[in-house]
Amino acid sequence: MKKYFTFLFAISLVSTAAVAEVQVQDLWVRASTGPNTAVYMKLNNTSGSGVSLINVSSPVCASAELHEIADVEGAKRMQKISAIHVPAKGNTSLEPGGIHIMLMALETPLTEGQKDIPLTLEFSHGEKVQLTAPVKAQ
Ligand SMILES: [Cu+2]
């Protein structure tokens, strides 16, 4: 059963990556410990022009925001940003301690081992990419 789900996950990544100018790698959602949780990934732009991730949505939460971690008077705080830029022929990593996607007001807790969290990523050039993400503890 576990192999079956892994296979489906791999197929969904390959099918979107084949048509996308922006490839999504190492996608995962952090297991929730409260009403919100974070999503991490590496965005790889194969095209010759820069693009930005401008919107994210998921049926598992009320809304999703793009966040960065900034130093505010000596303390690290998350703050909302309007876009995550991916340079031409380059990549941008969303990772713990840095830029991330925040799923706000989860419908239900997300637990380690879930593999099918649906996400829709919308980019500045009009492309929408649908993915499913696994949930990991860290
Ligand atoms: Cu955040």
pLDDT of residue 42 exceeding 90: yes
Exposed, middle or buried by CB within 10 Å (0-12, 13-18, 19+), for 22? buried
CA of 36 to the centre of ligand 1 (A): 8
CA of 96 to the centre of ligand 1 (A): 10
CA of 133 to the centre of ligand 1 (A): 17
Q: Of all helices (H) and strands (E), which one includes residue 56?
A: strand 51-57
Token pair listed for 70: 């900034």
Q: What count of other Cβ atoms lies within 10 Å of the Cβ of residue 113?
A: 12
Rounded Cα gap, residues 132 and 128, in angstroms: 13
CA of 11 to the centre of ligand 1 (A): 29
All domains of the chain in start order, with CATH = 21-136 (2.60.40.1890)
Residue among 31, 103, 33 nearest 66 (CA): 103
pLDDT of residue 92 exceeding 70: yes
pLDDT of residue 54 exceeding 60: yes
Indicate the average pLDDT of the chain: 89
CA of 28 to the centre of ligand 1 (A): 14
* Span of 19-28, 58-67, 76-85 with lowest mean pLDDT: 19-28
CA of 66 to the centre of ligand 1 (A): 7
pTM, 2 dp: 0.83
Rounded Cα gap, residues 28 and 115, in angstroms: 9
pLDDT for the residue numbered 19: 45
- The number of C-alpha atoms within 13 Å of 27 and in the hemisphere containing its C-beta is 26
CA of 79 to the centre of ligand 1 (A): 7
Residue among 5, 7, 9 nearest 133 (CA): 9
Whose tokens are 């960065």? That residue is 68
CA of 99 to the centre of ligand 1 (A): 8
CA of 22 to the centre of ligand 1 (A): 22
Rounded Cα gap, residues 33 and 3, in angstroms: 27
CA of 7 to the centre of ligand 1 (A): 30
